[in-house]
Amino acid sequence: MKRDQHGLTIIELLTVLAIIVILISLLLPAYEKVKHAALDAKQRAQFAAIGLGLEAFRADFGSYPASNATVQGGALAGEPSYTGAQKLAEAMVGRHLLGYHASSNLATTDGIDAGLIPQPYPLPSTLTAAEFQLYRQNTQDYYVDVDTANAFRIGNVSVGTGPDLPGLFENVYGSLAPNTHVLCDVYTKQSLNMPGNIVVKAGAPILYYRANTTNKSLRGAPNAFAGNTYNALDNDYLVRQRAVYSDAASGGTATIRPFGGNWDLFYGNSIVGDPYQIGYIQDPTVTSAPTSYRPDSFILISAGKDGIYGTADDITNFGN
């Protein structure tokens, strides 16, 4: 006897597809949550490595690297050009990613000789083989492994007849020194075309602030920020210029919000009940007086997965 054979009906197929869609909708948020948790853990591991590097730097030189925003001379006099984030990169991996150089004064003053941005020591590409050997003898070991440091150049730099070396801000870097680097976080959002048609992903610059241990004031007027434990201006120009670059690249408007312009966000204020009564860097567990986190060392800030500084998903070496 011959049996009747038939495939699935349309209704049965639709039912199966509906079940698959429901399962995907249930599993996808869980996957995204696990993925973000893994990235957060990776970011904290990077901060731990940088923290160890900073402690080793202090053991060698007696202090953490400077983080104050150094102003440029010449035609751009008064414009910040070398910020805390750039100084962190120089201290951890060197100005040219060859290790911290003995001619730098990051440990003693501000990292720039006479307030000018031109190199306090020569570009390696300008040296003879013998001079380069001497140059390397004057560099320290890396304080953070280069792969872990995730260092990227600020702006595009011309190398003569060859292709330009890429930078995070391309040619929209304002008065920031283009041939300097920043350490980037692990939340990769920007593609860079490296020589040899190699495309790499870069995250947002890691902000670095060194504590002023002689002053325990959390906040003061903008013209007195240098007297606070932490100076919000140390990285302000960098994050503002990043917003300018983002707008130029996307045609948008201030999609990357800087701390600058809203100092209450960074420091908090004294208005009871105000949304910014407790500031971003303020330790709320200290109730006797407004006090910053880590008032005796340094703070590091990653913009997190949204790429915006000062939002809830930021990863820092304090508070979370």
Joined together, the tokens standing for residue 217 give: 């004031």
* CB contact set of 184 (below 8 Å; sequence gap of 6+): 150, 151, 152, 168, 202, 203, 204, 205, 206
**Cα–Cα distance measured from residue 89 to residue 180, given in angstroms and rounded to the nearest whole number:** 8
Joined together, the tokens standing for residue 279 give: 């500031």
**Strand 181-183 versus strand 207-210 pairing type:** unpaired
Please tell me whether residue 183 adopts helix, strand or coil conformation. Answer: strand
pLDDT at 118: 45
Phi, psi angle pair for 265, to nearest 5° = -60, -40
Q: Of residues 175 and 162, which shows the higher confidence score?
A: 175
Least confident among 81-95, 123-137, 158-172, 197-211? 158-172
| Residue 263 burial by Cβ neighbours in a 10 Å radius (0-12, 13-18, 19+) | buried
Least confident among 54-63, 140-149, 216-225, 266-275? 216-225
pTM of the model: 0.85
- Mean pLDDT, rounded, for 277-281: 92
**Cα–Cα distance measured from residue 49 to residue 69, given in angstroms and rounded to the nearest whole number:** 24
- Mean pLDDT, rounded, for 212-231: 85
pLDDT at 150: 93
Domain ranges of the chain: 52-202, 207-316
Please name the residue that has the structure tokens 């957060």: 40
Q: Exposure pattern of 4-39 as b/e (b: 16+ CB <10 Å)?
A: eeeeeeeeeeeeeeeeeeeeeeeeeeeeeeeeeeeb
With a cut of 60, say whether residue 23 has pLDDT above it. Answer: yes
With a cut of 60, say whether residue 1 has pLDDT above it. Answer: no
